[in-house]
Amino acid sequence: MIQLDHLGTPLRSKAFHDNYYGFFGDNGLPDHITAIKQLAAQYTFIDADRVGIFGHSGGGFASTDAMLRYPEFFKVAVSGAGNHDNRSYNIYWAEKYQGLMKKDTVRKSDNFANSANSLMAKNLKGKLMLMHGDMDDNVHPAMTVQVIDELTKANKAFDLVWAPNRNHGLNEPYFIRRRWDYFVEHLLGMTPPDNYEIRQPVDGGARPPGSTPEPWETWEGWDDGFPYWKPFRAPW
């Protein structure tokens, strides 16, 4: 597993940050590919022929983008609650990276179209799992439905985990386990434990003997599956 600050991330310089302004579909992926290839050339335990990628929300958009834009390199992805077409997401957020939307009346398109994942569905070659909660209060589930529709039209096989009554987070043990299992099966080439259950520690985790739990350690008041160890509980 690697993590890197690709061109386009903040806290370096204005030029560094602005690298792919106007082309949201870049997502820093060329830098990731280059870094992985360089690391694989240096370290024999890195297999550049078996590369997976995971992301949620904006990362869900980016990880699906990786599979569709660079299908020869990225082999497996799990994409949660992705804003796959930023024309129908919170436009004020997307404009920070893509600029103001400009319509092209001749081509009947716009400057956001080149980063819409659904328009690249025909490129899928690897294994893609999509996840989305049907009560998502951040990224509308229609974002994932649009990708599903185009993948279906393109006769592409994919996997789907639909999460009833869940909002944006999907941080429950079940969804974490499904994500782990997908990479174990399709990257490692092994069979994961059947329906392995991730359980919350009874005492909320390690703590000095005799100490009093902090309020947040009791998970009271959380109802959306966050943080990771809090199982979702419907309010009925």
Q: Are 224 and 232 in contact (CB under 8 A)?
A: yes
Listed as ranges, residues in the chain with pLDDT below 50 are 222-236
The C-alpha angle with vertex 51 and arms to 47 and 53, in degrees rounded to 5, equals 150
Domain 49-198 has CATH 3.30.1490.20: no
Rg of the chain over all Cα atoms, to the nearest angstrom? 20
User: If you count them, how many residues does the chain have?
Assistant: 236
How far apart (Å, rounded) are the C-alpha atoms in residues 134 and 55? 18
Q: Are 92 and 142 in contact (CB under 8 A)?
A: no
Domain map of the chain by residue range?
49-198
The span from the first CA to the last CA of the chain, in angstroms, equals: 40
Q: What is the pTM of this model?
A: 0.84
Output the pLDDT for position 233.
43
Q: Under the phi-then-psi rule, with left for phi > 0, alpha for psi from -120 to 50, and beta for the rest, what region is 46?
A: beta
Q: Helix, strand or coil for residue 188? A: helix
Output the pLDDT for position 222.
47
Output the pLDDT for position 198.
85
Output the pLDDT for position 226.
45
Output the pLDDT for position 30.
95
Output the pLDDT for position 216.
52
Q: Which residue type does 8 have?
A: G
Output the pLDDT for position 218.
53
- The single residue listed with the structure tokens 């999509």 is 130
The CA–CA distances, whole Å, from 53 to 28, 49, 179, 199 equal: 13, 13, 11, 25
How far apart (Å, rounded) are the C-alpha atoms in residues 118 and 120? 5
Output the pLDDT for position 225.
45
Output the pLDDT for position 25.
87
